[in-house]
């Protein structure tokens, strides 16, 4: 948060109590959803600009519908259609957008650009995914875990696959929500040491290994994501390195029998996860997708001081 605006940029910028407040607010908003009529609500008259430099299905639609369900309106923009695509600076774009709209949600690969936007905007800025993090996703994932299994505190979550933006936000969440995180990646794609050390310094219990079976053994939740994220080169070597980290029936057998399977989607069936697991009884991937809507309504309400 800067002096004037309530930004939602990364989970690291929040205290544990504030994040819990947003999550519980989101759950409350979800539980009263049926009584809400579109066009009415706490954000009536507010406009959210949504800027996408990369494609999106869930983030785009859930923010759009969420804003409408809170009574507000949205503008859907892409960098290529704006003067951003012709070299107008991020800082000037932030200053101009702030004169027109009440909040900005942006998906942009460069995390530095996200920060520059937030520093120069006088309205709240929300991180809709950068190359470094995806905090809205993890708020939805935490909500999904707790709906199915109760408090995540004291539970364990195993990540298997590539080290990417979604994993980074899981790492950021670990010390805030007090769960153990066990990460299995190929050595060549291991998470940055500083990311892990910062979370450990904040009190998180984090195991890093290159053995997916060690990470998953007895865990309460198995999480994976695509092998090639937006902005990555789709090289054959990546696929070869990541093949042993696929979530399949053999790997899931090592987890707690009640373990949930999560994936932020879009999934690449037959690569990072088999259809048997995606469509199996432990999978909550579509609840996760739906909870993007509810979690982000909590985040939006918080940004506008309406939670």
Residue whose CB is less far from ligand CP, 51 or 264: 264
**58 belongs to an annotated ligand binding site:** yes
| Rounded to 5°, angle at Cα 231 from 66 and 202 | 70
Q: How far apart are CA 262 and CA 286, in angstroms?
A: 9
Q: How far apart are CA 24 and CA 251, in angstroms?
A: 33
Q: What backbone torsions phi and psi does residue 63 show, to the nearest 5 degrees?
A: -70, -40
Q: How far apart are CA 191 and CA 200, in angstroms?
A: 13
Strand order in the sheet with 47-52: 73-78, 47-52, 103-107, 125-127
Q: Is 207 helix (H, G, I), strand (E, B) or coil?
A: strand
Radius of gyration of the chain (CA): 19
Site string for ligand CP, 113-132 (x = CB under 6 A): ----------------x---
Q: How far apart are CA 116 and CA 213, in angstroms?
A: 41
Residue whose CB is less far from ligand CP, 30 or 107: 107
Residue 57 site contact among ligand NVA, ligand CP, none (CB < 5 to 8 Å, cut-off depends on kind): ligand CP
Does residue 267 bind ligand NVA (CB under 6 A)?
no
Q: In the beta sheet, which residues pair with residue 262? A: 223
Q: Per the residue annotation, which of 292, 294, 296, 303 is the catalytic one?
A: 292
Active site residue 107: yes
Q: Tell me how many residues contact ligand CP (CB under 6 A).
A: 8
Cα–chain-centroid distance for residue 297?
A: 14
**165 belongs to an annotated ligand binding site:** yes
Q: Alpha carbon of 54 to those of 36, 44, 77: distances in Å?
A: 31, 28, 11
Query: Least distance to ligand NVA from the beta carbon of 299, Å?
Result: 16
Active site residue 33: no
Does residue 74 bind ligand CP (CB under 6 A)?
no
Site string for ligand NVA, 197-236 (x = CB under 6 A): ----------------------------xx--xx------
Residue whose CB is less far from ligand NVA, 170 or 304: 170
Only segment of 51-59, 114-122, 147-155, 168-176 that touches ligand CP (CB under 6 A): 51-59
Only segment of 30-38, 54-62, 81-89, 113-121 that touches ligand CP (CB under 6 A): 54-62
Cis amide linkage into residue 128, ω under 30° from 0:
no
With 0-12 / 13-18 / 19 or more C-beta atoms within 10 angstroms meaning exposed / middle / buried, residue 78 is middle
Site string for ligand CP, 240-279 (x = CB under 6 A): ------------------------xx--------------
Binding residues for L-ornithine are: 165, 225, 229-230
Residues labelled as active-site residues: 107, 134, 137, 225, 264, 292
| Binding region for ligand NVA (CB under 6 A) | 129, 164-166, 225-226, 229-230, 264
């Amino acid at each position: 948060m800067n002096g004037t605006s309530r930004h939602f940029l990364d989970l690291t910028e929040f205290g544990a109590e504030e994040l819990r407040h947003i999550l519980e607010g989101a759950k409350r908003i979800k539980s009263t959803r049926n009584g809400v009529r579109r066009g009415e609500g706490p954000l009536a008259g507010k406009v959210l600009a949504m800027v996408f430099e990369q494609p999106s299905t869930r983030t785009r639609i859930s923010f759009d519908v969420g804003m409408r369900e809170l009574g507000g309106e949205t503008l859907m923009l892409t960098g290529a259609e704006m003067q951003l695509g012709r070299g107008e600076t991020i800082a000037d774009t932030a200053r101009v957008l702030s004169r027109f709209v009440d909040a900005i949600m942006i998906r942009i690969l460069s995390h530095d650009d996200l920060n520059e936007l937030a520093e120069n905007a006088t309205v709240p800025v929300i991180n809709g995914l950068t190359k470094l993090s995806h905090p809205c996703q993890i708020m939805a994932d935490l909500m999904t875990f707790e709906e199915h299994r109760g408090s995540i505190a004291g539970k364990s979550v195993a990540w298997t696959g590539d080290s990417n933006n979604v994993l980074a936000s899981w790492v950021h969440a670990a010390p805030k929500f007090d769960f153990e995180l066990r990460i299995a990646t190929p050595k060549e794609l291991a998470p940055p040491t500083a990311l892990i050390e910062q979370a450990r310094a904040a009190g998180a219990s984090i195991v890093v290994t290159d053995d997916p079976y060690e990470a998953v053994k007895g865990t309460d939740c198995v999480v994976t994501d695509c092998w090639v994220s937006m902005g990555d080169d789709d090289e054959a070597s990546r696929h070869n390195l990541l093949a042993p980290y696929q979530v399949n029936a053999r790997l899931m057998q090592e987890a707690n029998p009640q373990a949930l399977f999560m994936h932020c989607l879009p999934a690449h069936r037959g690569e990072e996860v088999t259809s048997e697991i995606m469509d199996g009884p432990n999978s909550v991937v579509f609840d996760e997708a739906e909870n993007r809507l509810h979690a982000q309504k909590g985040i939006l309400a918080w940004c506008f001081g309406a939670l």
